[in-house]
Amino acid sequence: MLHHPTPGDHPFRARGLRVLIYSHDTFGLGHLRRCRAIANRLVTAHEGASVVIISGSPIIGQFEFADGVDYVRLPGVVKLPNGDYTTSSLRLPLDETVAMRQAILLETARTLKPDLVIVDKEPTGFRGEILPALRELRRNGARIVLGVRDVLDEDEVLAGEWERKGAVDALVEFYDDIWVYGLERVYRPLAGLSLPPETRERIVYTGYLRRELPEKPQSVRYPKVTREPFVLVTAGGGGDGEEMIDWVVSAYEADPGLSVNALVVFGPFVERTRRAAFMERMAQLPRIDAITFDAKIEHLMSRSVGVVAMGGYNTFCEILSLDKRALIVPRRVPRLEQTLRARQAARLGLVSMLDGALLGPGARRDPMLMAEAIRRLPEQPLPSSVTLPHLLDGLDSIEALTRRITAGERADRPGAAARRA
């Protein structure tokens, strides 16, 4: 096992905090938005800080970042329906693409020489690609943190997956801290893992990541349905949201008396032909319209009377931050993450929920069930009616944790207030 440096081994450098944030994911928007929120907060909180996000997202360039934040794009990979992976753009074998990604990660780590490294969700990265970089970073005295969302998957499923990947071993060998971007009262994502006591003691529940409204977009024209009270229907990245969108559209087709308007935001990963088919159907319906994508969707959410969504982590944080009534229709495949989060949130009274099993291929969905849920949405209680201490303290906690690191203090068990929430 490699030596875990103490802060005395690597005092904060006067050249300004340097942070490397790694997210392997190339599908969806949640990972990217989470990394961006953390990066923007760190450069705001630490004068002279620089943050590099290294990601496989094909749309990372469509987002704005604060001064001091930049990104490195890894060659993309995509998951096939059978669970295998392939390259998304390059005409290279997958193993050669992974080798290229691994080399980019290693060289970025060597060149940046970060003080702090935040790895998003996967302790070993995609197919172990980050392990050589972690060894290099450990030798250079970086503090290495695993950041995970509030829910990963069912305990037994996660335990088997991490066993196959060697993730627990990597967690013990390389990581100084584990930040859970949620509340222990809501969910304990690592509870089912066999972690050594000293590793479990390094888990900190930060609270959810509060989202602020970004700078208002200029010269943006939204569809006419947004001029009256409307429900925002968001499928996140959209790659797995077609069934939910279909259910919403069918509700407006089946119930002409559904009086609240709806705006669908497809997301950038809905296939063009499917998007065109939805638009053709919606052209016959006066109260529903759609746009493809909005990098500043927070403004639409803020204006809406409620949100219909699948309930990924990022959307959930936005719902809480903007205090929006929400109807969650969580997917159940390829993992139960969204379902587990929605169940807990509904139990606490933060959202309402429809059974995501009805999103499965070939499922027979009742359009009137969705229509009635949308009709009730503007009248349900706001999330703020539920009192949960430290619910949205995530970014504040992360700022405090990084200040302890830069001050050279031990940070094995900081954020006690957040842990007790």
What digits encode the pLDDT tens for the residues 287-299?
999 998 887 889 9
- The one-letter amino acid at 145: V
Cα separation values, 381 from 289, 388, 391, Å:
26, 15, 17
Q: Is 179 exposed, middle or buried (0-12, 13-18, 19+ CB in 10 A)?
A: buried
Cβ atoms of 310 and 235 closer than 8 Å: yes
pLDDT band of residue 407 (cuts 50, 70, 90) is confident
Looking at per-residue pLDDT, the higher value among 121 and 410 belongs to 121
38, two tokens = 């953390």
* Average pLDDT, integer, range 399-410: 82
- Choose among 195, 200, 119, 128: nearest CA to 165: 128
Reference 52, options 7, 102, 113; nearest CA is 113
Tell me the average pLDDT across 128-154.
96
Distance CA(143)–CA(250), nearest Å, equals 51
Instruction: Note the pLDDT tens digit of each residue in 213-248.
Output: 888 766 678 899 999 999 999 987 766 789 999 999
**Mind listing the domains of the chain with CATH numbers?**
18-210+392-420 (3.40.50.2000), 224-385 (3.40.50.2000)
Q: Comparing 156 with 58, which gets the higher pLDDT?
A: 156
Q: Tell me: the pLDDT tens digits for 5-47?
A: 444 444 455 579 999 999 987 655 678 889 999 999 999 999 9
**How confident is the model over 171-206, as pLDDT tens digits?**
999 999 999 999 999 999 999 999 999 999 999 999
| 82 pLDDT tier (thresholds 50, 70, 90) | low
Angle between helices 131-139 and 167-174 (to 10 degrees): 10
